[in-house]
Structure 1
Amino acid sequence: MQKASDSAPALASFSLDALPVINHFLEPLDLSTVLEAYLPPPHPRRRVPPVQAIGLLLRNLLLSREPLYGIGAWASRFEPSLLGLPPEGSGLLNDDQVGRALDDLFDADRSSLILRIVVTAVREFHLSLRRFHNDSTTVSFQGEYREADGRRVRKKPTLRITFGHNKDHRPDLKQLLWSLTVTADGAVPVHYQALDGNTTDDQTHIATWNLLRAIAGRATFLYVADSKLCTRPQMRYIQGHGGRFLTVVPATRKEVGRFEEEVRKHTLPWEEVLRLPHPQRKEAPPDIFRAYEDPEGSVEGYRIVWFHSTEKEKRDRQQRQEMMDRAIQELRDLNDRLASPRTRFRKRAKVDEEIRRILEECPASSWLEVEVGERVEESFRQATRGRPGPHTKYRRLLRPRFQVTWRPRPEALTEAEKTDGLFPLITNDRKLGAKQMLRCYKLGQPGVEQRHHNLKAFHHVAPQYLKSVPRIEAFLCVYFLALLVNALIEREMRRAMKRRRLPALPLYPEGRPCKRPTTQQIFRIFEGLMVHQLTTTRGGRYVYQPKLNGLQKKVLRLLGMRPQAYRISMG
């Protein structure tokens, strides 16, 4: 920013973007007060208090995630008061200031801090706590992270960044497990856990459920999660403490095999419970769901309701055909290798082993019948060295050659098609109807998956540019706060559109209509808004406020804001 002098006027320009919108939603959370209660007071040698540094980092994650070394340059573009900084605050920022603030956040009682903010959000935004959805993902790291072995730092245990089942399909990278729980009302995050990279999902649900009970103040809410919840200890715990759960029955349970065998042998009285539009093509037939409750239930005595989806039936058949096609192609490639004059498959056992590997990896062993044909190849070679002549003797060589043939198993394919499109849900709620169960899982669970998408695609949780494990843990806490604010803005916009019966807003490029606005789309229309201050040679100051267009004003009104929020007072 240029400074005024006696010889020339000075013009100071600051970006606003969506900062007034973010601050509008941070204010009811009383974030600064909560951070002041848990973070240490400003140190005389620290130029930026930790509360201001964490608030700045949160706003940065919401707008445009920058590495810590570039956060000072990023902050200098904006009007300092909108970042919660004093007029000269942006010039004092550097990665060391923010890093030390993350150390302070690691040392604080982050669980109580998050709980207090979430309880405030529930109260101020009137969030419904009748149903929660939980799911997990992985945060991948590039590097050795040799010190991330769970050692204690400043008397507190740290996380182990290590290898595990990577949900980003990057088994070559180390990771942490990220578990997130959201409300059914707007998919607003209310709880998260960052866990060791080799932690399995079935170890997380009891602790998560206990904390949700503290947030809701009761145990009667419905807890919805993926199939890792379907273990006897976890379901017994929730049932024994007066809770309700809903989850998918994993294919490894005996109840699944028993019911699929029943479906293959008998025709069951399925009942249609729901029709949903095709997820991708409007002109395509709807996805029709039928339900049948297993009278035997689970071995623990819980209800199991089976559902059949017409779209899932198509996907199952397509997936099976793709697996068979891949297996056939690999078998063809194997035949080419077997026919090569320099083939290494000289023994039947080695050929059988390769076929077994192909059918297990695809997998297609149930639907393809594979046979190995064997013949003897005759060849002749000189018995002695030298140039061949009329009296040269030859040796007769016999080598086995193999050829693989295959054909589909019609009976097995027919049996497999009978169970296409099926999936089971299990619950301990005796009053929950089949349609309610389906809607709770099918329409609610994608909300938490969308928040994981926001975490990775919008807030860019990876790659991580930090090496200190305590700072990484604290940074993930700030990421949770960013997801919380993101979801609150999105929820408020969609609720307002529903109240005013607005089918869509022209938020897409070229003014195309958007039926379900996201926070990213809302932020995009405020990009480029700036405020300018001209200081004359005589000390006079003139502030030029941004001019909002009709769409920007309409969005602000839907969010409960007035256009005056973009009139900035500059000192």
Structure 2
Amino acid sequence: MNFASKNVDHLGIVAGVCHEIGLVEEIDKLVGTKDKQIVTTGEAVMAMVINALGFVNRPLYLFPEFMRNKPTELFFREELKPEDFNDDTIGRTLERLYENDPTKIFMHIALKVADTLRISRKFLHLDTTTMSVHGEYKFEDNDQVPIKITHGYSKDKRFDLKQFIISLITTSQADFPLWMDVLSGNCSDKTHFRDVIKKFSKELSKENEEAYFVMDSAMYTEDNVKEISPLVKWISRVPETISEAKKLVEETSIEEMSKSSIEGYSYRGYTNSYGGVEQKWLVIFSEKGYDREIKTLNKSIEKERENIETGLWHFMNTEFNCQEDGISELNNKAAKWKYHKISDVNVEEVNKTGKRGRPKKDTQDLKKVYKIKVGFEKDEMRIGREKNKKGKFIVATNDIKLDDNEALKEYKGQQSVERGFRFLKDPLFFASSVFLKKPERIVSLGMVMVLSLLIYSVAQFKLRKALKECGETIPDQKGKPTAKPTMRRVFQMFEGISLLIKIRNGVQRIAGMLNLREIHRKILALLGKSYEKMYLC
């Protein structure tokens, strides 16, 4: 008799979520199956999710290697072998997903899961992020491609690389991804946000529950406000490029504001009709934002002072043929100063021969030149005006009855979608290995990436909910009890768990699980039977 082992680690939890939500069955129902398919589309997608949440940064073309030491018979079914998950299987799966509309597939699964878990859809956060890729991705203008991998405004400041865009809608509760799409790398948020709301707002809203779409300032244009306000309620930051907003921020003093129920915030409300739509504007002051922005301002003031000193040293050693030229150049320099002003000016007249060395006593050919000595100081009035704007921003909503504090709370909740983007861009997540050459496959891979975020969110939501309901805790990284663990921390706790395989006469049988401790059993019991099934063999 011989023994072998296969790595389970935290991937049994990932597989448990997939089984609980019926991921394989739902995808196969939407996409269909073929008689000669060894691995169904749903199974291949589940395998890609397991790969993504393995946090090993293993690209898809090394998929069989990743699966080689995984218990496919436990995660999937006995008939499947690691070598079945090869690059041809993955490539065909990505193409089949594309043929059946990845956005539609994802939204079908996400809405069903959200309803099962009773996740609120009242506040929905919409945003985009850019995903950089390596490679040329050359296409002609008339090529029929689903998206263009191209240069555009990079939110990661990687302007040297081509990119595509992932658009995401998450719920305020649980940071749950509800909708996604993959866009061309030069797509504009301004038009995209409007198009999403027009096309999907009814499907994403619960029946008999009005949803609020929360977006950043890219949404807030006159055309967008006019077009989407009859369709949905929205909350958005107002860009200070709008003159009325800039003026309001400057003129609203902190003393005029009311303290928010959210610690560290104050606000004052105004009514407004920008774009011909009745709405409420909240001028908000953030104490932490103020402190952060004042530090940045002080650094800018100091840097400008150093630059002015260097520039004036050269200027004051420059000789001018007439003082008017010198004064004109000085005024041009001072006009560029943001935080300083001229304090005094002295013009020195100098006689020169135009030749090097000391002039002879009887030299008559002397030339007058001028040097200008300058003093400068802080422009306290301008600095004061700048300080008065710091820590302030405007949040608008077309629901004038919405509670002010709730509007602020939900705008702050825009971090929900940003957390999702940070997850997708994590170096250990396989987003860093986007190497696919076909745009169709990139579109499908984007869906699988967000699907992985959904699986992660479900596990975290379920565990936190169970801990709260049972009044239980588990240890965090420092060993302190917490009822709100991150799933990443839980995944770390499951490292080293292996499936023991007993081999007799060439026949393999599961003999048990190695390194399963009491804390693991506790977590699995809290998560439920689908998860215990993966470990308690």
TM-score normalised by the shorter chain: which range applies?
0.7 to 0.9
How far off its partner does 1:459 sit?
2.4
How far off its partner does 1:540 sit?
8.7
Which of 260, 264, 267 is equivalent to 1:291?
Answer: 267
CA deviation string 1:82-140 (max 9, x = no partner): 44365452123332331232122222222321221122112221121111111222111
How far off its partner does 1:537 sit?
5.5
Q: 2 CA distance for matches of 1:376 and 1:558?
A: 87
Q: 2 CA distance for matches of 1:441 and 1:107?
A: 36
How far off its partner does 1:261 sit?
4.7
Q: Check 1:399–1:481 CA distance in 2 against 1; reply closer, same or farther (3 A cut).
A: farther
The runs of 5 or more residues in structure 1 that have no matched partner are 1-8, 277-286, 360-364, 384-389
Aligned partner letter, 1:26:
C
Q: Which moved more, 1:46-55 or 1:520-529?
A: 46-55
Q: Check 1:102–1:269 CA distance in 2 against 1; reply closer, same or farther (3 A cut).
A: same
Q: Which moved more, 1:58-67 or 1:243-252?
A: 58-67
Number of residue equivalences: 526
Q: 2 CA distance for matches of 1:47 and 1:399?
A: 91
The runs of 5 or more residues in structure 2 that have no matched partner are 319-324
How far off its partner does 1:348 sit?
8.8
Contact 1:152 1:158 survives alignment (8 Å): no
CA deviation string 1:448-479 (max 9, x = no partner): 11111111115242342222222111110101
How far off its partner does 1:563 sit?
7.2
Contact 1:297 1:304 survives alignment (8 Å): no
Q: Which moved more, 1:107-116 or 1:179-188?
A: 107-116
Contact 2:271 2:278 survives alignment (8 Å): no
Aligned partner letter, 2:382:
A
Contact 1:150 1:160 survives alignment (8 Å): no
Contact 2:27 2:42 survives alignment (8 Å): yes
Q: 2 CA distance for matches of 1:82 and 1:107?
A: 30
> What does residue range 33-44 of structure 1 map to in structure 2 within 5 Å?
33-39=25-31, 41-42=33-34, 44=36
Aligned partner letter, 1:221:
A
Residue equivalent to 1:10: 2
Which of 115, 118, 122 is equivalent to 1:123?
Answer: 115
Residue equivalent to 2:66: 74
How far off its partner does 1:30 sit?
2.0
Q: Check 1:484–1:562 CA distance in 2 against 1; reply closer, same or farther (3 A cut).
A: closer
How far off its partner does 1:529 sit?
0.5
Question: Structure 1 length as normaliser, TM-score?
Answer: 0.81
Q: 2 CA distance for matches of 1:488 and 1:295?
A: 40
Q: Secondary structure at the match of 2:88?
A: helix
CA deviation string 1:490-514 (max 9, x = no partner): 1122222222334x52131x52444
Q: Check 1:381–1:269 CA distance in 2 against 1; reply closer, same or farther (3 A cut).
A: closer
Q: Check 1:307–1:538 CA distance in 2 against 1; reply closer, same or farther (3 A cut).
A: closer
Residue equivalent to 1:307: 284
How far off its partner does 1:160 sit?
1.5
Q: CA RMSD in A?
A: 3.7
Contact 1:546 1:566 survives alignment (8 Å): no
How far off its partner does 1:354 sit?
7.5
1:32 aligns with 2:4: no
Structure of greater relative contact order (alpha carbons < 8 Å, 6+ residues apart):
2
Contact 1:176 1:194 survives alignment (8 Å): yes
Q: Check 1:399–1:529 CA distance in 2 against 1; reply closer, same or farther (3 A cut).
A: farther
Aligned partner letter, 2:200:
L
Q: 1 CA distance for matches of 2:444 and 2:373?
A: 60
Residue equivalent to 2:447: 477
Q: Check 1:550–1:258 CA distance in 2 against 1; reply closer, same or farther (3 A cut).
A: same
> What does residue range 172-571 of structure 1 map to in structure 2 within 5 Å?
172-209=160-197, 210-218=199-207, 220-241=210-231, 243-263=232-252, 269-276=256-263, 287=264, 289-295=265-271, 298=274, 300-335=277-312, 365=338, 367-369=339-341, 406-442=376-412, 444-457=413-426, 459-502=429-472, 504-508=473-477, 511-514=479-482, 516-536=484-504, 543-561=511-529, 564-567=532-535
1:53 aligns with 2:51: no
Q: 2 CA distance for matches of 1:440 and 1:541?
A: 52
Q: Secondary structure at the match of 2:277?
A: coil
Q: Which moved more, 1:306-315 or 1:542-551?
A: 542-551
Residue equivalent to 2:322: none
How far off its partner does 1:396 sit?
8.3
State the percentage of identical aligned residues.
20
Q: Secondary structure at the match of 2:484?
A: coil
